[in-house]
Amino acid sequence: MRLTRGLSAALLLGVALTVACATSGRMAPTAVPPRLFFMGHVEGYVEPCGCSEGQLGGVARRAELLRRLRAAPGATLLVDAGNRLIAAGRSGEIQAAALALAAEAAGVAAINLGEDERRLGADFLSRIEPVRRLPWVRANTDPPATGRWPGEVARTVRVGGQEVSITGVSEAAAGVGDPAAAVAEVAAKVARGSRLVVLFQGQVAAADRLARAVGRIDLIVVADGEDHLDAAAHRVGATLVVATGTDGKWLGELPLTPGPLAPEGVQVHVLTEAIPDDPGAAHLVRDYYRRLKEARVLTEAVPRPTVGGSYSGATVCGSCHEDAFALWRESGHAHALTTLTERGKEGAPECVGCHTVGAGFTGGFVDATTTPERGGVQCESCHGVGSNHVDNPTRDYGRADEQTCRRCHTAERSPKFDFSTYWPRIMH
Ligand code: HEC
Ligand code: HEC
Ligand code: HEC
Ligand code: HEC
């Protein structure tokens, strides 16, 4: 009894003291440890495509989540472990600019130059101003064939009274040096009492090896490209290793408490539909699709040749297969391009592949202005190029089955897909 009372009295006193501190505004700034937010392996993922419900991630939700998390007391720091930009060419430039502006608006303090970025090349990264000015870190990239990689070997930032040095490396591969040697060189220059954070693009096992090789590291954030919904946080000696998952589907959070960082401190915030879009970031996303459309990026790709004939289009098939055509005409497949047009996304290379017929191939869909008659999922999306069959209609053409559907009805885009329930809805 007494003990309980004593405890509650102490608790009450504690509460009262906290309130007093807060209202008098004299709470020491170091009382709340700074928090580090981490992400990585975004690989061109601007937003969920909307093909099905319940999809995760997107820059607009992430901006809103960050705003909410930062409203809590204490300083914060956002890092990105790399492999953010992936698409080349004119559409890739527009995408890279959008993703760089999103990272900048999110206040990223350091971003690792991963293998995806290396593949795009130093000239590509330097040409796009918002990309060039991102705070890239890259300790083990070989000098590029031409130009110069943007960024620097390491950056030091101050957050909530702590000094944090951040460097970036990739797993050993062609074009990159030994990550352990590169990080050891950085570690030798890091001041005592300063934290060392390594942004790592590669496998978790390789990051673990790095932790063992260079004991001085406080935290390794791994862009591992594995589709998991947790940070797989674990310790290797005194080093905490966390992984980011893919597509920026969630944001990691970790308080930078004194001493070795603990796996228990890691939190994962999944970017579900429950988080609304930040209006500014949503505007950036709309602008991205508008720019793709205005630049008519789809007309720039050189079409690949088809094998076994060419595309004829559904109307030609319908001249003989009237019943199948009539059923198809009423199906969602026939209107799949309209789905994109209604949302202003018909100019996006990442959308048209499954919502049209023959995109990227000779005689197939080019863009909504040039080839409106190739819009929608058409007969030849499932039965294959049909001109030979049109010229000489025989039965040995056009086998289609469940595997055909799964080319587009992937687990990500169509999680409810089941041939036995979907086929009856479009049977012809
Ligand atoms: C890999 C193929 C694929 C790609 C790429 C793709 N989609 Fe889809 N999309 C589908 C499939 C399959 C469905 C139908 C899913 C279902 O009903 O199970 C669908 C459905 C949709 C729907 C819902 C239609 C409705 O009325 O129910 C929207 C919206 C959509 N997609 C937009 C997009 C956008 C925007 C992009 C590009 C960012 C895109 N899709 C890229 C395959 C794809
Ligand atoms: C000139 C008329 C004509 C046109 C045009 C035509 N077909 Fe056919 N199609 C036929 C005939 C005839 C058969 C064989 C029917 C039979 O023997 O039962 C056939 C059979 C098929 C079959 C079934 C094959 C099988 O193994 O049973 C498919 C699938 C098919 N056509 C799809 C298409 C598609 C897709 C197009 C458009 C690219 C198309 N057809 C255009 C006349 C046509
Ligand atoms: C070339 C890509 C592609 C292939 C192949 C494909 N689909 Fe689809 N499917 C889509 C897209 C895109 C949509 C969404 C259409 C829209 O915009 O509403 C869709 C929607 C659907 C829908 C919901 C719309 C409706 O009319 O009820 C069903 C059912 C469906 N598909 C069944 C199938 C089946 C069964 C197969 C295989 C025999 C298949 N699909 C093959 C891309 C494809
Ligand atoms: C979403 C994929 C898909 C689309 C789009 C599609 N088909 Fe089919 N079609 C199939 C599948 C699956 C079958 C049944 C499996 C089989 O018999 O090969 C089939 C069967 C057929 C058959 C054979 C029917 C029979 O009695 O054997 C014909 C003919 C045919 N389709 C013509 C067309 C025509 C014409 C169009 C366009 C107007 C079209 N299909 C659009 C997937 C598709």
Contact 385, 334 (CB under 8 A): no
The C-alpha atoms of residue 325 and residue 320 are separated, in whole angstroms, by 9
Please tell me what DSSP assigns to residue 361: B
Which band of pLDDT confidence, cut at 50, 70 and 90, is reported for residue 423? very high
What's the pLDDT score for residue 301?
87
The C-alpha atoms of residue 164 and residue 417 are separated, in whole angstroms, by 47
Of 333, 385, 389, 392, the one to substitute when testing ligand 2's pocket (max ligand atoms within 8 A of C-beta) is: 389
The C-alpha atoms of residue 344 and residue 351 are separated, in whole angstroms, by 11
What's the pLDDT score for residue 64?
98
Number of residues written out for the chain? 428
Determine the distance separating the centroid of ligand 2 and the alpha carbon of 305, expressed in angstroms. 23
Closest listed residue to residue 306, CA positions, set 358, 375, 240: 358
CATH of 28-287, one of 3.40.50.300, 3.60.21.10, 3.30.70.1350, 3.10.450.50: 3.60.21.10
Q: Does ligand 2 have an atom closer than 6 angstroms to the CB of 316? A: yes
Ligand whose nearest atom lies closest to the CA of 339: 3
Enclosing H/E stretch for 317:
helix 314-318
Q: Residue 217: helix, strand or coil by DSSP?
A: coil
Strand ranges for 117-214 from DSSP E? 136-137, 154-159, 162-170, 195-201
Determine the distance separating the centroid of ligand 3 and the alpha carbon of 264, expressed in angstroms. 44
278-298 pLDDT tens trace: 999 999 999 999 999 999 999
CATH of 304-426, one of 1.10.287.90, 3.40.1080.10, 1.10.1130.10, 3.30.70.100: 1.10.1130.10
Q: Give nearest CA residue, ligand 4 atom 20.
A: 428
What's the pLDDT score for residue 399?
95
120-162 pLDDT tens trace: 999 999 999 999 999 999 999 999 999 999 999 999 999 999 9
What's the pLDDT score for residue 24?
39
Ligand whose nearest atom lies closest to the CA of 391: 2
190-204 pLDDT tens trace: 999 999 999 999 999
Q: Is the pLDDT of residue 252 over 90?
A: yes
Q: Does ligand 3 have an atom closer than 6 angstroms to the CB of 75? A: no
Percent of the chain at pLDDT above 90?
92
Closest listed residue to residue 124, CA positions, set 90, 81, 168: 90
Percent of the chain at pLDDT above 70?
93
Nearest atom of ligand 1 to the alpha carbon of 351: 37
Ligand whose nearest atom lies closest to the CA of 409: 1
The C-alpha atoms of residue 179 and residue 137 are separated, in whole angstroms, by 13
Decide whether 28-287 matches 304-426 in CATH topology: no
Pocket of ligand 1 (CB under 6 A): 49-52, 339-340, 343, 345, 348, 350-351, 353-355, 408-410, 413-414, 416-417
348-393 pLDDT tens trace: 999 999 999 999 999 999 999 999 999 999 999 999 999 999 999 9
Determine the distance separating the centroid of ligand 1 and the alpha carbon of 333, expressed in angstroms. 10
What's the pLDDT score for residue 31?
75
Nearest atom of ligand 3 to the alpha carbon of 339: 17
Closest listed residue to residue 37, CA positions, set 2, 83, 72: 72
Contact 287, 98 (CB under 8 A): yes
Determine the distance separating the centroid of ligand 1 and the alpha carbon of 366, expressed in angstroms. 18
The C-alpha atoms of residue 199 and residue 137 are separated, in whole angstroms, by 8
166-181 pLDDT tens trace: 999 999 999 999 999 9
Where do the domains of the chain lie?
28-287, 304-426
Q: Looking at residues 52-79, what average pLDDT do you find?
A: 97
| pTM listed for this prediction | 0.91
- Which range (181-190, 197-206, 300-309, 320-329) has the least confidence? 300-309
3-58 pLDDT tens trace: 222 223 333 333 333 333 333 344 454 579 999 999 999 999 999 999 999 999 99
What's the pLDDT score for residue 10?
32
Q: Looking at residues 94-117, what average pLDDT do you find?
A: 98
Q: Does ligand 2 have an atom closer than 6 angstroms to the CB of 386? A: yes
